[in-house]
Amino acid sequence: MKEVAANFNAKGLENSVQEHWRTNDTYATVKQHRSSGKPFFFVDGPPYTTGTIHLGTAWNKILKDSILRYHRMNGRHVIDRAGYDMHGLPIEVKVEQALGFKSKKDIEKYGIKKFIGQCREFAIRNKLLMDDQFINLGVWLDFPGAYKTVMPEYIEAAWWTLARAEEKGMLERGHRVVNWCPRCETAIADAEVEYADENDPSVFVKFPLKGRANEFLVIWTTTPWTLPANVAVAVAKDFEYAKVLAIKDDKETLLWIAEPLVKAVLRKGRCKDYAILETKKGADLVGWVYESPLASCVPLQREIAHKVLAADFVALENTGMVHIAPGHGWDDFVLGTKEGLPIVCPVDGAGKFKEEAGCFAGQFVRDSNENVLVALGDHLFAKETVTHRYGHCWRCKTPIIFRATSQWFLKISEMRDLMLKEVEKVIWYPEWAGSARFYDWIKDARDWCISRQRYWGIPIPVWVCPKCDAYRVIGTIAELEERSGKPLADPHRPYVDDITIPCTCGGTMKRVEDIFDVWFDSAVASWATLGFPGKTADFENLWPADFITEGQDQTRGWFYSQLGASTIAFGKAPYKSVCMHGFALDAEGKKMSKSLGNVVTPEEVIAKVGADVLRLYILSSSAPWDDLKFNWEGVGTINRAANILWNVYRFPVPYMILDKFEPANTGGIWDDAYIRAHLKQMPDEDQFIISRINTVAATVDAAIKECQLHRATRELINFILEDLSRWYVQLVRERMWIEGESESKHFAYETIYYVMRRLIGLLAPVCPHITEEIYSNLRCKNDPASVHLLDWNKGEPALMDGSLEQAVGIVRSFDEACANARQTGKRKLRWPVSEVVVVTDSEPVRDAIGRRLNVVCKDRANAKTVRVVMGRWERIGWKAEPIMKALGRGFGKNSFAVKTLIEGADGNLLKAEIGAGRTVKLGEGDAVFDIGDEHVTFAEQLPPEVFSAPMPDATVYVDVQLTPELEAEGYAREVIRRINEMRKQLDLAVEDFIIADAAVADERICALIQGTWRAGIMDEVRARELAIHNTGAAAKTYDMVKDWDVEGVAMTIGIAKVI
RNA sequence: GGGCCCGUAGCAUAGCCCGGUGGUGCGCCCGGCUGAUAACCGGGAGGUCAUGUGUUCGAAUCACAUCGGGCCCA
């Protein structure tokens, strides 16, 4: 054991511990140690390689690390491969920005090979940066061996999964409407659409009915640019539609509008007057035909037979008639497919109109809105602007459009029931994350569009024959090489694009150009991380995962994508339990964002208080699934708690070193045999703290099992602060100061050693650095090399003593009440009191204070005696207090005299008589009055110099009356304290001796101290000589001379070190 | 527009499932302690339990609505 630094320096401590781990490869040792244990298969949700982690990412890994460390200590062989998500649009967009690109054409010009190279480099560089940041948090995952979505064997896992989908008929090549980003020129998944406010036109348009002059259907839209693709109008079968004669600018028009909406629509069209001519059910309108108002300038529109249909999604809003463009809307598309409408989409990938759009050709759709409105001419009935939520591309923030294109889909809608069934089998923390949130999300799941028209991603392994249109899904690299007869250098684009396969029809199959949605990459992580399908042994033994934990945003992300892919590939959920955690918000509960300037980074927290405090703060602040409001004050509080832990650890070390203490051990390995054998002989406070740490261990264990890290950490912090620092250490200090051999001191050493060892074991998963540092100093010579090699201890019932813990609880209440009463009586704790009396009816209070822990009580109260009185304490008297209102009624003008009589009467007598139901005669001669129950109340009257304070089920009375003996001791203690203060100022060592001189101005006090306390003082301050005298100042030869005012008595004290 | 979570003193939280005087920590003020000491301990002040309505003898707790925050969706 070595001396411990006085100041808790988290940063320095963590650096040296990390260095120690590195040089000794402690992580590998720990894994090796558990390698034969029962496997615990954890899958790391791969963070996207953006380069910097934020507080939420840190939280995520801290949670994972703490839970995994717990399982390792419990003997589990933890599969803890880290993962990184390294493909996808976000990286492409970053690289595009760096290269100054504006569109896909720039990439093609630059060369896909070079572009991919840049993306790869960017991802790898960031991955390395992130490794370091995670390691600085003290996270122990396998980072060097991390799975990366760019690895060939990982890509193969995705290919293999798609081949399974094809095998099961779950893969579909479809012409469908998808979310489309016109900047990135690709389809994007529902999961990639972000919603934000956007200003758009809100227009009402008249569609002329065929063969009915001056008669129109009125529709409403916020996307005028979709009108060139209009093919139909939908109505609701059951709505009433009105034919309205509308008068505007003295011109009459016949309009069809849902009847309840007529008034509102016509007001928007600024019609002076109108009349409803007739109404018809929506069903009666079905089959009507109309012409496009854009027919003259859009050639495409001239070929379309526009008609009215019924649809159930039509709502009674706007005009009650919905413009249908199956090429530009999901509902429209579904309806169009059902009704056999032409799916027209005159818009290209960049969001520009094609030739068939006539006068709009070449225009960007969102920019063409105004032109469309102009082209509508008189058919534009009304125009306003609305602000509404509109979808945007998650990466480049461009407003998305809907576009009908040829894409690849996984038929999630057909898997839905199976997925729901699987969700129910998973254990969710908290329960509602699965049963409510995730369940609801899957209930509405649609088919998953997995194809993207981009470059940096896993190529979709589908080869199509241009001759016969047959396609083949390739499941492995080997299969591809075999079928193509060519080696594959790199499974990425553009390398894989060059590989062709001969088709059975004699044609040459070429790969479709698409890559996978990046969410599909991570979806296969649970088997890809095991090397499957390349290697099968681990997969067969371990899969599905025992545990995963991610943020609540992953409900629609990774929890979902994994479940989808796994259900398709294996028909079951890829995880057995899931913990959903919250988000890191700022102190106001707002999202941290660069634009708000409220971002706190893990680095800055670590720089101030270290990773362990950050870990402890995050885990203790809120339940994992609640959002965390980051708060620096909270961090400071936890830092203080860590500092107290450090002080508690440090406090006994110098004494142990002085005494060359070695905890009882067997062959250099520590165990608790000594504690078990001697427990019953040990002082109560030792038994108590031993019991407590075991009780705490049981609580902590139960909490971690349920992912209740907040309960576990709060319990530990509470133990350190309340039980250990504020209670046990205070009691045990004097035993540490005993010089020479002492059983009591030895018990204290063994106890505190035991408690520290148990405590750091419990704390190790959460604070891996501090506990390692403490452990390295405490461990016996053959103990395991690291705290992280220790076995978890979940509390020994044999060492728990519930009744003792209860008794100590009572004594602590007593302790507080004493301090309270002393404060009222203005008697400092340093001054002894003769007696403390506890009055109670409670037997547990009597047993704790009066019997079992009486010695502790005397010590804590600094009292010569502490005794318990059941029922009543005879020194408590009663004081009678007159009730003036009643006296006035009863005695009229004599009231004042009666008041004086009552106040002067013996309260105790009065209470006894009246309490017995009698009246009492007070007064003399003519003035005698009968006093009854209604005239008085009684207040407790304490004896002089006795002060009271309440505690649960009892009242504590402290008698602060001084006797000469008590006074002598009090002053002696004052002198001791001042001499010790001076020793400290002189920076003397604990074992140094001094000579001292005290000149006390008050003759009586001087005599008091001199009389019985000279030897006691000398002993306490380690003085070889001590002169106490009434007059004269201390000689100048002292190292330090100081004037003191002790409770109004002037003293001049001098001390000098004996050399 | 829909789903889920959250809203308790200046700040952070417990209690809510299973209704019965609202605890704790930080900060603040006052006092104590002084061989853990740029630590530590005691006391005090500070609350419309987001708002409103309902159920009930009784609501922070149950129900409904509204407002605010977060995540997810349309």
**Å from A514 (CA) to B73 (C1')?**
27
Catalytic residue among A408, A428, A558, A878: A558
- In the block, residue with structure tokens 């960049």: A350
**pLDDT the model gives residue A147:** 96
A544 residue type, one letter: P
The predicted model gives A594-620 an average pLDDT of: 83
Q: pLDDT tens digits for A11-51? A: 888 999 999 999 999 999 999 999 999 999 999 999 999 88
**Å from A767 (CA) to B60 (C1')?**
35
The predicted model gives A472-493 an average pLDDT of: 93
The predicted model gives A60-88 an average pLDDT of: 95
Q: pLDDT tens digits for A998-1040? A: 888 888 888 888 888 888 888 888 888 888 888 766 556 778 8
**Å from A439 (CA) to B50 (C1')?**
30
Cβ contacts of A678 within 8 Å, gap of 6 or more: A747, A750
Burial group, residue A114, by CB count within 10 angstroms (0-12, 13-18, 19+): exposed
**pLDDT the model gives residue A217:** 92
Catalytic residue among A2, A378, A594, A987: A594
**Å from A741 (CA) to B19 (C1')?**
59
**pLDDT the model gives residue A148:** 96
Does A525 have pLDDT greater than 90?
yes
* E strand map for A705-818: none
8 A C-beta contact, residue A994 and residue A1022: yes
**Å from A729 (CA) to B16 (C1')?**
37
Does A757 have pLDDT greater than 90?
yes
Closest residue (Cα, C1') to B41:
A726
Does A570 have pLDDT greater than 90?
yes
CATH class of A877-941: alpha beta
**Å from A701 (CA) to B41 (C1')?**
31
The predicted model gives A480-489 an average pLDDT of: 92
**Å from A603 (CA) to B32 (C1')?**
40
Closest residue (Cα, C1') to B7:
A589
Burial group, residue A404, by CB count within 10 angstroms (0-12, 13-18, 19+): buried
Closest residue (Cα, C1') to B30:
A823
Q: Which nucleotide is nearest to A388 (CA to C1')?
A: B1
CATH for A198-392 (2.160.10.10, 1.10.3210.50, 3.90.740.10, 3.40.50.300): 3.90.740.10
Q: Which nucleotide is nearest to A390 (CA to C1')?
A: B74
A593 band by pLDDT with thresholds 50, 70 and 90: low
* SS3 of A699-733: HHHHHHHCCCHHHHHHHHHHHHHHHHHHHHHHHHH
* SS3 of A80-129: CEEEEECCCHHHHHHHHHHHCCCCHHHHHHHCHHHHHHHHHHHHHHHHHH
The predicted model gives A414-429 an average pLDDT of: 88
A591 is catalytic: yes
Closest residue (Cα, C1') to B4:
A437
Q: Which nucleotide is nearest to A636 (CA to C1')?
A: B26
Catalytic residue among A248, A280, A354, A591: A591
DSSP string, A273-324: EEEEEEEEEHHHHTT-EE--TTTTT-HHHHT--EEEEE-TT--SSTTSEEEE
d(CA A960, CA A972): 17
The predicted model gives A655-676 an average pLDDT of: 92
- In the block, residue with structure tokens 């859009």: A298
8 A C-beta contact, residue A503 and residue A509: yes
d(CA A578, CA A866): 55
The pLDDT mean for chain A works out to 87
The predicted model gives A50-56 an average pLDDT of: 84
d(CA A575, CA A526): 8
Closest residue (Cα, C1') to B40:
A726
**Å from A592 (CA) to B51 (C1')?**
28
**Å from A440 (CA) to B4 (C1')?**
9
Task: Kindly list the distances between the CA atom of residue A683 and the CA atoms of A672, A686, A751, A805, A850, in Å, as whole numbers in the listed order.
Answer: 17, 5, 10, 14, 16
**Å from A771 (CA) to B37 (C1')?**
23
Q: Which nucleotide is nearest to A433 (CA to C1')?
A: B4
8 A C-beta contact, residue A720 and residue A641: yes
8 A C-beta contact, residue A276 and residue A292: no
A819 band by pLDDT with thresholds 50, 70 and 90: confident
A127 is catalytic: no
A180 is catalytic: no
Catalytic residue among A46, A47, A461, A652: A46
Question: Is the C-alpha dihedral spanning A114, A117, A123, A127 positive or negative?
Answer: negative
d(CA A146, CA A142): 6
Question: What is the DSSP secondary structure assignment for residue A46, as one 8-state letter?
Answer: P
Catalytic residue among A118, A133, A554, A1010: A554
Strand partners, A17: none
Q: pLDDT tens digits for A318-363? A: 888 889 998 888 888 888 888 888 888 899 988 999 998 889 999 9
A46 is catalytic: yes
A588 band by pLDDT with thresholds 50, 70 and 90: low
Does A124 have pLDDT greater than 90?
yes
**Å from A814 (CA) to B56 (C1')?**
39
Does A6 have pLDDT greater than 70?
no
Q: pLDDT tens digits for A618-648? A: 888 888 888 888 888 788 888 888 888 888 8
Q: Which nucleotide is nearest to A721 (CA to C1')?
A: B40
**pLDDT the model gives residue A1003:** 86
A907 band by pLDDT with thresholds 50, 70 and 90: confident
Q: Which nucleotide is nearest to A437 (CA to C1')?
A: B4
Q: Which nucleotide is nearest to A551 (CA to C1')?
A: B71
Closest residue (Cα, C1') to B5:
A626
β pairing state of A401-410 and A171-181: antiparallel
CA A1040 to chain centre: 55
Buried b (16+ CB within 10 A) or exposed e, A425-460: ebebbbeebbeebbbeebeebebbbbbbbbbbbbbb
Closest residue (Cα, C1') to B69:
A589
Catalytic residue among A256, A428, A463, A519: A519
Instruction: At A906, list the tokens.
Output: 């013996």
8 A C-beta contact, residue A1044 and residue A1053: yes
Q: pLDDT tens digits for A782-811? A: 999 999 999 999 999 999 998 888 888 888
Q: Which nucleotide is nearest to A582 (CA to C1')?
A: B71
**pLDDT the model gives residue A636:** 82
**Å from A612 (CA) to B22 (C1')?**
33
Task: Kindly list the distances between the CA atom of residue A747 and the CA atoms of A379, A484, A653, in Å, as whole numbers in the listed order.
Answer: 97, 78, 15
**Å from A828 (CA) to B32 (C1')?**
7
A519 is catalytic: yes
Helix (H) or strand (E) holding A55: helix A55-73
The counts of H helices and E strands in chain A are 38, 43
Domain range summary for chain A, segments of one domain joined by +: 198-392, 466-511, 628-790, 807-875+945-959, 877-941, 964-1057
Q: Which nucleotide is nearest to A828 (CA to C1')?
A: B32
**Å from A100 (CA) to B72 (C1')?**
34
Q: Which nucleotides of B are covered by protein (CB under 7 A)?
A: 1, 3-6, 10-14, 25-27, 31-43, 69-74
Phi then psi for residue A796, to 5 deg, are -100, 110
Q: Classify domain A628-790 at the CATH topology level.
A: Isoleucyl-tRNA Synthetase; Domain 1 (1.10.730)
d(CA A77, CA A84): 22
**pLDDT the model gives residue A267:** 83
Catalytic residue among A85, A521, A546, A783: A85
**Neighbour count for residue A80 (Cβ, 10 Å):** 24
Closest residue (Cα, C1') to B42:
A819
Q: Which nucleotide is nearest to A391 (CA to C1')?
A: B74
Greatest mean pLDDT range, A307-321, A566-580, A985-999: A566-580
Q: Which nucleotide is nearest to A734 (CA to C1')?
A: B35
